[in-house]
Structure 1
Amino acid sequence: MNASRETDFAYQAVYRYLTQLIDGPGGEGAMRLPSLRQLAERLNVSISTIQYAYALLEKEGRVYSVAKSGYFAQPASAVMPLGRGNDLLETVYVNARCFGMRVLSADDPASIQPLDSPLLMLERELMRQYPRQAQVPAQPCGELELRMLLAARYTSSPTHCWHAEDVYIGADVRGVLEILIAVLELRNATVVVESPCDWMVLRLFQSADVRVIELPVQPGGELDPRQLKMLLETEPVRLILLSSVLNMPRGSLTPEENREAIAQLLRDHGTWVLENDSYSELGDDCERRPLRDLLDPDRLLVFSTFEKVIGVEAPYGFVLARQWRTDLQRHFLLRSFRLSPIRQKAIARLYASGRVDQHLPVLKRLLKERRTRLIELLREGLGDTLHIDEPQGGATVWVRSSRRVVMGAVFQRLLKQHVLIAPGELFSAQGMHGQYMRLSATASNGPELEGVVGLIGDALRLAPDG
């Protein structure tokens, strides 16, 4: 490959090579694939290029990785029934990697328009500026350039301001939340979460023996102030988890008066708030103020990730917190996240150059087009079978069966037809949302989507009464 082709298209060539390897003779089972180093030497490209090609294939379900063993080709027709102990979430995770599966369970907004290409170009430029031989002091809480940028980006006033030492960057959101659970001493404590709630958060709380109380999001996006007031007065609430702007998976925006009433309650009670800011930039309403601007910044922690906007090449999670500085620094040091300083610098410069802000309107327009198309097909093909909560942003659609059905039967029937949905019960720790499902608007945009919608309609009509 010549220099320009390697710069822009090397990962595509590696991707094509691997797909031919997988699809070739003997490529139908759990075939072990070459290691990163072996392929880098064989194809004369960098290890990071091989990693990116493998990441694409893994996201498509063509390959899967095993710790300390490497990468393997995914069996072409594997469908896993319910996992150990009828673990529905395990079933969703495993089958999402099956080749040929139409995955409507994911929430991956950046997949339709990632910023991986400009990010990797910036990284290559920085590699030339910062040779690997240069000794860089360890920064266990994240690259200072990126922390400074995030602090500035989240500052909105002299009172609601942040500094680099308030920002902590980890390998992913899961790792950051695990640290917060430890630092805030949430084990066996009581936490209130808005419901539906991200399944990863619920599983992390469950594994840490956190007592979770769910505060349902109403159809219009409101939270009930009276119910919250009662909980704050009668329960030993250690923390409340709320969305910054856009509640997902419902895709709703809380009305301004309701947000102010909730914020006033939290200020009055001095409640610690953990704000989920992962989806704020994906809301259709660009003028909506984030919840954090209505709260006491000294009783607030904010977490988010770059992945929802930039894509899989920027998986890092981060948290902003004014308090707990010593404990957070110690836990990030002990966790020893192995983060590329060059990749972090590239992310910082992607934001500083304005490239992300230019990208966001395009991404939101594409997401809205995909959501609109999916909703049109659902209404045309399923009629009154489904009730659709009209989303106001994001990459998914939250729908409810108009008839009470056994949603597990719907899930299993679709799974056998290689269609994977996210049942609503995954978004509750207390068995709520059993008649709901989350559908990805980014899974497909062609004629195949009409057939998938037809299969969903058949599964709902044939499901037994719940």
Structure 2
Amino acid sequence: MTPRGTRQAGFAYQAVYRYMINLINEVSTDTRVKLPSLRQLSERLNVSISTIQYAYSLLEKEGRVYSVAKSGYYAWPLAGSPATSPGGDLLERLYVATRRPGMVVLSGDEPTLLASLDATLLRLERELVRQYPRQLQPWSQPCGVWELRAALAARYTTSPTRCWHADDVYIGADLRGVLDILIEVLALRGTTVVVESPCDWLILRLLQDAGVRVIELPWTAEGRLDLVLLEGLLREEPVHLVLLSSAISLPSGVALHPRDRLDVARLLDQYGCWLLENDTQGELSFAAAQAPLRELVNPERLVVFSSFEKVLGPEAPYGYVVSRRMSSELQRQFLLRAFRLSSIRQRAIARLYHSGRIDQHLRSLRLLLQEQAEAVSQRLELHLGHQVSYRMPAGGAAFWLRAAHAVDMRQVFQCMLAQQVVVAPGELFSLSGLHHQQVRISHTFQGHPNLDMTLAALSEALRHAQVG
């Protein structure tokens, strides 16, 4: 098989992806199986290493493979997988469970399951192919095409002092690739970083693998940050930077109080600390958007990262970075990784921004998400009643539930797997043992389960898992 024979070189990763799916499905042993390395597959399939890495990242996101630092990628067979055993790495077991046939995936956080722009994006792509013949498509664009970088820069610009230019924007294959670059550019290895908690497990695992000392700053049950604790950490610890969400903190689904936003900005400025802002779902707030943190902090000590996938859909997996500083090192790291991204698809995404189509889509998506959250909230009250407590999410696609009584959440996870339902235990969102009484469930679930039956099963699992 030679992916270069596909219709467009820009879609080589899709052919690699299909090849890897077939390869994984051939696994029939009862132990984990190491998959070919990036270089081996690059030579075998005659494509670039970055194309292989891109395909692997998609497979990892889907839970079909997982990576082990300094070892490579592995696939678990469906039979005898760790998902059926209460031991082992919980994240690996969750990933394996999500790829088993017939599973209802309530563990995810995929807003665009309600509405995506995939079809529009592909239509624009077909139109652009006629304007930009294949032989005229430049591949030497390590930081992304100018049109898309300029569109993002314009979107982030809000005033003459808080303005961005195309050269301040860097586009990578996916969010993981972008975060890997930031770990290198910001020299995070061996440093101390303060991270809001709960925090996305992808971010936590990448920081952990890089040897970063992560200090977690928990959100309170009232949806506030402990600013006294934050100031103490900034004063007493060698904090390299603080990682916070721009608008909505997920999976907790809370928006930072306006007064707290000002105080956080003041503390960062007082101690000269950098802000690494997570803007992956910054535009999915249900209420009128508050000023994101980046509007309040010193732009010279700010780096923003995000991706298109949460607002556009899976056909736009690219991640990106916005930063005024360290341009030479950022360019160097993007060049070293040699991301081979489809210039046509990037231009199609740029057109969504320039035409205003993205804003129309976001208005519809936010309304759908809010309506779905309210409908699922009624079902939660009906079936879980006094078994859980939660705050209505301020945005996004998931609920962050806390058990009202002490439970073994791993047992809940295992009981739900027996019902062919995957939920995400709260401990996945912490490196220091927090959130053992929490669980994340999506309100934009994959598949079409009978939600009443599913929540009734969750109620039973919580009851059986009570401890003490």
Q: TM-score range by the shorter chain?
A: 0.7 to 0.9
Q: 2:238 aligns with which of 227, 233, 236?
A: 236
Worse-superposed segment, 247-256 or 283-292: 283-292
* Map of 2:228 onto structure 1: 226
Q: Is contact 1:425–1:433 with CA below 8 Å preserved after alignment?
A: yes
Give 2:396's aligned amino acid. Answer: G
Shift of 1:224: 1.6
Worse-superposed segment, 90-99 or 396-405: 90-99
Shift of 1:345: 0.3
Worse-superposed segment, 433-442 or 376-385: 376-385
Shift of 1:371: 1.4
* Map of 2:102 onto structure 1: 100
* Map of 2:381 onto structure 1: 379
Separation (CA, whole Å) in 2 of partners of 1:382 and 1:338: 48
* Map of 1:410 onto structure 2: 412
Counting only pairs closer than 5 Å after superposition, residues 43-54 of structure 1 correspond to structure 2 as none
Shift of 1:464: 3.8
Q: Is contact 1:271–1:299 with CA below 8 Å preserved after alignment?
A: yes
Q: Structure 1, residues 378-427: CA drift from partner, whole Å, max 9, x if none?
A: 11011101112211111000000000011111111111211100000001
Within the alignment, does 1:399 sit opposite 2:401 as a pair? yes
* Map of 1:272 onto structure 2: 274
Shift of 1:374: 1.6
Shift of 1:220: 2.9
* Map of 1:162 onto structure 2: 164
Q: Is contact 1:249–1:398 with CA below 8 Å preserved after alignment?
A: yes
Q: Is contact 2:83–2:96 with CA below 8 Å preserved after alignment?
A: no
**Partner SS for 1:438:** strand
Q: 1:172 aligns with which of 174, 199, 224?
A: 174
Q: Is contact 1:60–1:99 with CA below 8 Å preserved after alignment?
A: no
Q: Structure 1, residues 441-464: CA drift from partner, whole Å, max 9, x if none?
A: 011686611111011000000114
Q: Structure 1, residues 185-206: CA drift from partner, whole Å, max 9, x if none?
A: 1111000001011100000000
Separation (CA, whole Å) in 1 of partners of 2:346 and 2:95: 28
Q: Is contact 2:201–2:428 with CA below 8 Å preserved after alignment?
A: yes
Q: 2:89 aligns with which of 87, 90, 97?
A: 87
Q: Structure 1, residues 32-91: CA drift from partner, whole Å, max 9, x if none?
A: 9xxxxxxxxxxxxxxxxxxxxx99x98998x95899xxxx9x96x886437897111111
Separation (CA, whole Å) in 2 of partners of 1:400 and 1:66: 28
Structure 1 consecutive aligned stretches of length 4 or more whose deviation exceeds 2 Å:
29-32, 57-61, 63-67, 77-85, 444-447
Counting only pairs closer than 5 Å after superposition, residues 46-445 of structure 1 correspond to structure 2 as 80-81=82-83, 86-134=88-136, 136=138, 138-443=140-445
Separation (CA, whole Å) in 1 of partners of 2:326 and 2:421: 45
Give 1:438's aligned amino acid. Answer: R
Give the direction of change, closer, same or farther, for the CA distance of 1:64–1:174 in structure 2 (3 Å limit).
closer
Q: Is contact 2:143–2:334 with CA below 8 Å preserved after alignment?
A: yes
Q: Structure 1, residues 3-35: CA drift from partner, whole Å, max 9, x if none?
A: xxxxxxxxxxxxxxx9xxx9xxxx9x9469xxx
Q: Is contact 1:78–1:98 with CA below 8 Å preserved after alignment?
A: no
Give 1:210's aligned amino acid. Answer: V
Q: Is contact 1:273–1:299 with CA below 8 Å preserved after alignment?
A: yes
Worse-superposed segment, 130-139 or 187-196: 130-139
Tell me: higher relative CO, structure 1 or 2? Use CA pairs within 8 A at least 6 residues apart.
2
Shift of 1:268: 1.1
Q: Is contact 1:96–1:420 with CA below 8 Å preserved after alignment?
A: yes
**Partner SS for 2:222:** coil
Separation (CA, whole Å) in 1 of partners of 2:222 and 2:247: 14
Separation (CA, whole Å) in 1 of partners of 2:211 and 2:431: 12
Shift of 1:167: 0.4
Q: Is contact 1:79–1:415 with CA below 8 Å preserved after alignment?
A: no
Q: Structure 1, residues 357-382: CA drift from partner, whole Å, max 9, x if none?
A: 00111111111122112211111011
Q: TM-score, normalised by structure 2?
A: 0.83
Separation (CA, whole Å) in 2 of partners of 1:59 and 1:354: 32
Q: TM-score, normalised by structure 1?
A: 0.83
Q: Structure 1, residues 277-318: CA drift from partner, whole Å, max 9, x if none?
A: 111111012331111000000000001110001000000000
Shift of 1:343: 0.4
Separation (CA, whole Å) in 2 of partners of 1:414 and 1:454: 11
Q: Structure 1, residues 237-256: CA drift from partner, whole Å, max 9, x if none?
A: 00100010001001111110
Separation (CA, whole Å) in 2 of partners of 1:97 and 1:402: 31
Q: Is contact 1:59–1:97 with CA below 8 Å preserved after alignment?
A: no
Give the direction of change, closer, same or farther, for the CA distance of 1:94–1:156 in structure 2 (3 Å limit).
same
Separation (CA, whole Å) in 2 of partners of 1:288 and 1:281: 10
Q: Is contact 2:248–2:281 with CA below 8 Å preserved after alignment?
A: yes
Q: Is contact 2:86–2:414 with CA below 8 Å preserved after alignment?
A: no
Identity of matched residues, %? 51
**Partner SS for 1:81:** helix
Q: Is contact 2:279–2:306 with CA below 8 Å preserved after alignment?
A: yes
Give the direction of change, closer, same or farther, for the CA distance of 1:81–1:398 in structure 2 (3 Å limit).
same
Worse-superposed segment, 445-454 or 339-348: 445-454
**Partner SS for 1:279:** coil
Counting only pairs closer than 5 Å after superposition, residues 454-465 of structure 1 correspond to structure 2 as 454-465=456-467
* Map of 1:15 onto structure 2: none
Give 1:253's aligned amino acid. Answer: A
Give 2:181's aligned amino acid. Answer: I
Q: Is contact 2:405–2:466 with CA below 8 Å preserved after alignment?
A: no
Separation (CA, whole Å) in 1 of partners of 2:166 and 2:309: 21
